[in-house]
A and B are shown apart, each in its own frame.
Chain A
Amino acid sequence: MTTYLFPLIIIGGLTTTGVYLLLERSLTRMLLGLLLISNAINLLILSAGGPRGNPPVRGRTSAGETTTADPLAQGLILTAIVITMGIAAFVLALTYRSYRLNTVEEVGNDPEDTRVSQRTGTESFDADNRPGPDRTRDTDLPDELDAIPGFEGSR
């Protein structure tokens, strides 16, 4: 299979920029990054379809070409464009909603995730239990008495 250098350079450039934008936290930039990557991939499929040629319609020729262009690659790209467009519209709606709710359009952290990761080792072990009796104040009396704040036992 032969291919051309120029589309490959463009594909590389678009993907690089797209990945860079995708790593941002701002949603509009992430969306732009996704769109750039999807365009890069569409170009890639186009180049995978081989060189130009006659339109894939019986009896039609174009400027002395001898081969027929690959219609499948174009069909794939059309489908991919439609899908990306639909999802992009949905992401824009979500972005706007997020902006309305939070006045920022950034990817937020999961609060529960943050809470769990900020716990210290002993906390995470006891996180779902009520604090037990204070061992430093342990006396010979029953634990229930030790647990009462201010009750110093027999000490």
Chain B
Amino acid sequence: MNSLMLNPHLAQVLTPLPVLVPLLAAAITLFAGRQPRLQRAITVLALSLMVAISAALVYLADRDGTIALQVGGWGPTEPGMGPLGITLVVDRLSALMLLVSSIVLLAVVFYAIGQGIRDGDGRQPVSIFLPTYLVLSAGVCMAFLAGDLFNLFVGFEVLLSASFVLLTIGASKERVRAGISYVMVSMVSSMVFLLGIGLVYAATGTLNMAELSVRLGDVGDGTRTALFAVLLVAFGIKAAVFPLSAWLPDSYPTAPAPVTAVFAGLLTKVGVYAIIRAHSLLFPGGEMDQVLLVAGLLTMVVGILGAIAQSEIKRLLSFTLVSHIGYMVFGIALSTELGMSGAIFYVAHHILVQTTLFLVVGLIERQAGASTLQRLGGLAAASPLLAFVFVVPALNLGGIPPFSGFIGKVALLEAGAQVGSVLAWTLVAGSVITSLLTLYVVTRVWTKAFWRSRDDAPEGHLSASAPTALLDNTEESMDIALVERDDVGRMPVGMLAPTGALITVGLLLSVLAGPIFAYTERAADEVLDRGQYISAVLGEP
């Protein structure tokens, strides 16, 4: 094992696998559409393999520094020149993103399978679900690995196309409505991104990120800022940064619980990752930092104020998702090592906690037949275990001390105080207020859904008829009286276990905060330094 680990080619072999493995598995599962057991086995195998590969990549990237793979050997013709072909790059940041994403993807697929086995009828999980899910995984990994802008665009498109299918699965009325606005907004953002790519190519004659990082230095300041702004708009829509975030709470809540969970965890974070790359690799120097800081502040405050007004829990969580993107933008826009490190830590924390919360809402919906505060009540007495799995990630999101949310926030606040400008202090204040309001929002869910009696809820006597898995049966079934609802039994282990596993990983982020934060600090150093990335891709000049 040790000799294998020391082999310098191992990293090169592992690098493309997070894209290849799920794509191959998607092809196989598509053919195995009629054998659900085989489909499930292949999916679980592929995603477990991805977790192992990503863990190895984290280790290798941390030990040996940035790994660059010139696909097909079309590398630079001479040192210092841009490569001819596609480049895949793994540094500490992308390796960490890969690891966290693949853990989340694996847990959610277990949850979806558990839900399908327990609540699905013969048609569920739909035979198209697992292949599409694997394509989504491949797209996410491709975006994290991309070493050139166009490959990043392709990664985005792969994950978006898959997400369109997952969001509209079953094509019920409500999902088609949500799907249309989601598709349109995503397409507009892709068009803006493509426009940015065209303009960058016109200005520099290359799309390789390492080479761009060198060449953009020679472009005039005005042009540079304009290019950066175009790319930021594209990534801002994907990451749901405030003026561009209105699409998210409209479209996410209608999807099935596991789909919403994986979207909430991963898709916006891919946008945040792209912002990090653009901000520190392509356009260092912080021309847009003031704009980003203001956008971050507004994202936090507007998002959380939106959450206060909601009574549907999935929408409420979507608004907190938007709000907490603001923290990451804040960390990035500070342009300091501590800020970047805090932002990276926060991304990892937020992927885990937001996914967990959406999975818990899926459980609430199944057990209580509703996900709106107008109907929920008495859950703490009905199921103390459900109350426990809700309260841990909820307090984590709110940033209560022992949890990782607190550690991430403290790092960001410290970074803000270190910069010390008026705007930075305003953001520090804004983050504290947002954090308190997040706590208010989750305690509101807690007191209403868990503590009060269901009789006190205005519509507490109503309920959805039966739990469903992936398909939306709101058209077939009307609301029924709660007393007439069949007993759904205990929470299925297949759904509870993945949720519990994600909570545990989230807690590990707090227990191992020391080593992990040291890792994100090295990652931030590497991201801000640029030299390692450039020399890994272009060769030593």
Task: List chain A positions with a Cβ less than 8 A from chain B.
Answer: 1, 22, 27, 30, 34, 37-38, 41, 44-45, 47-49, 72-73, 76, 79-80, 83, 86-87, 90-91, 94-95, 97-98, 101-102, 107-108, 110, 112-113, 116, 119, 124, 127-131
Asked if B412 CB lies within 8 Å of chain A CBs, one says no
The complex places the Cα of A80 from the Cα of B177 at a distance, in Å, of 26
A112 touches B176 (CB 8 A): no
Residues of chain A within 8 A (CB-CB) of B478 are none
B310 touches A110 (CB 8 A): no
B149 smallest CB distance to A (angstroms): 10
B260 smallest CB distance to A (angstroms): 14
The complex places the Cα of A134 from the Cα of B183 at a distance, in Å, of 47
Interface centre among B171, B180, B198, B250, by most chain A C-beta atoms within 10 angstroms, is B198
Interface centre among A34, A47, A128, by most chain B C-beta atoms within 10 angstroms, is A128
B370 smallest CB distance to A (angstroms): 12
A41 touches B195 (CB 8 A): yes
B533 smallest CB distance to A (angstroms): 22
B180 touches A107 (CB 8 A): yes
Nearest B residue to A45 via CB reads B198
Residues of chain A within 8 A (CB-CB) of B456 are 129-130
A97 smallest CB distance to B (angstroms): 5
Q: Provided the pairs A41-B198, A76-B197 are in contact, do residues A91 and B457 lie with their beta carbons within 8 angstroms?
A: no
The complex places the Cα of A76 from the Cα of B310 at a distance, in Å, of 43
A127 touches B374 (CB 8 A): yes
The complex places the Cα of A98 from the Cα of B455 at a distance, in Å, of 38
Q: Provided the pairs A87-B161, A128-B457 are in contact, do residues A34 and B188 lie with their beta carbons within 8 angstroms?
A: yes
B191 touches A37 (CB 8 A): yes
A94 touches B373 (CB 8 A): no
Asked if B199 CB lies within 8 Å of chain A CBs, one says yes
Supply 21 A–B pairs (Cβ within 8 Å), ascending by A: A22-B184, A34-B188, A38-B194, A44-B198, A48-B198, A73-B201, A76-B197, A87-B161, A90-B164, A90-B183, A91-B184, A94-B176, A97-B176, A98-B180, A107-B184, A108-B180, A116-B310, A116-B311, A127-B374, A128-B374, A130-B456
Known contacts A107-B181, A119-B309, A127-B374, then 19 further A-B pairs from the complex at CB < 8 Å, ordered by chain A residue: A1-B202, A34-B191, A38-B194, A41-B191, A41-B198, A72-B207, A79-B154, A87-B183, A90-B183, A91-B180, A94-B168, A94-B180, A108-B180, A110-B178, A113-B250, A128-B448, A128-B457, A130-B458, A131-B458
Residues of chain A within 8 A (CB-CB) of B184 are 22, 30, 34, 91, 107
B contacts with A, residue count (CB < 8 A): 44
Nearest B residue to A75 via CB reads B150
1/0 per residue B112-129: CB within 8 Å of A? 000000000000000000
Nearest A residue to B186 via CB reads A87
Asked if B215 CB lies within 8 Å of chain A CBs, one says no
Interface centre among B161, B171, B187, B188, by most chain A C-beta atoms within 10 angstroms, is B187
A94 touches B179 (CB 8 A): yes
A114 smallest CB distance to B (angstroms): 11
Chain B contact surface mostly:
helix
The complex places the Cα of A37 from the Cα of B176 at a distance, in Å, of 24
B195 touches A44 (CB 8 A): yes
Residues of chain B within 8 A (CB-CB) of A102 are 173
Q: Provided the pairs A112-B312, A124-B309 are in contact, do residues A38 and B191 lie with their beta carbons within 8 angstroms?
A: yes
Q: Provided the pairs A22-B188, A116-B309 are in contact, do residues A98 and B161 lie with their beta carbons within 8 angstroms?
A: no
B183 touches A91 (CB 8 A): yes
Residues of chain B within 8 A (CB-CB) of A44 are 195, 198-199, 202
CB within 8 Å of A: which of B170-225?
A: 171, 173, 176-181, 183-184, 187-188, 190-191, 194-195, 197-199, 201-202, 207
A78 smallest CB distance to B (angstroms): 12
CB-contact partner of A101 in B164, B176, B207, B312, under 8 A: B176
The complex places the Cα of A22 from the Cα of B177 at a distance, in Å, of 17
A98 touches B176 (CB 8 A): yes
CB within 8 Å of A: which of B279-300?
A: none
Q: Provided the pairs A79-B150, A101-B176, A112-B312 are in contact, do residues A94 and B457 lie with their beta carbons within 8 angstroms?
A: no
1/0 per residue B245-279: CB within 8 Å of A? 00001100100000000000000000000000000
Residues of chain A within 8 A (CB-CB) of B526 are none
Residues of chain A within 8 A (CB-CB) of B366 are none
Asked if B157 CB lies within 8 Å of chain A CBs, one says yes
A66 smallest CB distance to B (angstroms): 19
Asked if B315 CB lies within 8 Å of chain A CBs, one says yes
A55 smallest CB distance to B (angstroms): 18
B171 touches A48 (CB 8 A): no
The complex places the Cα of A22 from the Cα of B150 at a distance, in Å, of 25
CB within 8 Å of A: which of B438-460?
A: 448, 455-458
B373 touches A128 (CB 8 A): yes
Nearest B residue to A88 via CB reads B187
The complex places the Cα of A90 from the Cα of B171 at a distance, in Å, of 12
Residues of chain A within 8 A (CB-CB) of B373 are 128
A51 smallest CB distance to B (angstroms): 13
Nearest A residue to B194 via CB reads A41
Residues of chain B within 8 A (CB-CB) of A83 are 154, 157, 190
